[in-house]
Amino acid sequence: MFEQPIGKVEKDRSRLIIVISGLAVLGVIVLMIFVSSYSSSQKKEIDVALAGSPEFDSYAPNVRIENFEQIAGERLNVHFARMKCTVTNAGDKTITALHLRGVIFRYLDESLKEELIKEKFVMIIPNQFDKLAPNQRIRIEIFMEPIPDPYSIAYVQMKIDLQGLKTE
């Protein structure tokens, strides 16, 4: 008298499994959103000394950008640029913030006037490394995508510039 038909029990069990699976997927999505918002809010904005400030102008010559490599290529019909270099702290202070700029440019004519094609600003320290002690070096890479076809633009060059720093 209280028994349900076998087909109805299987249907109810299938619905229960679907509902539980849906709730589990929803829980994972909510957890991912929470974790990503928490980790992105942990990044601190750091004031760095820029060109023209006494701290920057006095210490910038001690920051050496060496062994520069530039690579341009294409993947999945999109052109990209990759710039690699070694940054060396040749001074006697620890660098606690380092802001670099990767630039793709070309020379317009013989006057060596530059035309900016693309640039990217990167906070290397503290986002990728904690600090840079005296006489320590780090290897960094700046990746840009998409860029114009480097072979269709004459006199394309790439470089990495020091934009800002903070020392202890």
Per-residue pLDDT of 130-159, as tens digits, reads 999 999 999 999 999 888 887 777 677 899
HSE of 131, CA atoms in CB hemisphere, 13 A? 10
Q: Is the pLDDT of residue 39 over 60?
A: no
Closest alpha carbon to 167 in 140, 144, 134: 134
Residue 167: how many CB atoms within 10 A of its CB?
A: 23
Task: For residue 132, give the DSSP letter.
Answer: B
Answer left, alpha or beta for residue 144, where phi above 0 means left and psi between -120 and 50 means alpha.
Answer: beta
H helices of 42-124, where?
A: 54-59
pTM for the model stands at 0.68
Q: Is the pLDDT of residue 52 over 60?
A: yes
Q: Is the pLDDT of residue 41 over 50?
A: no
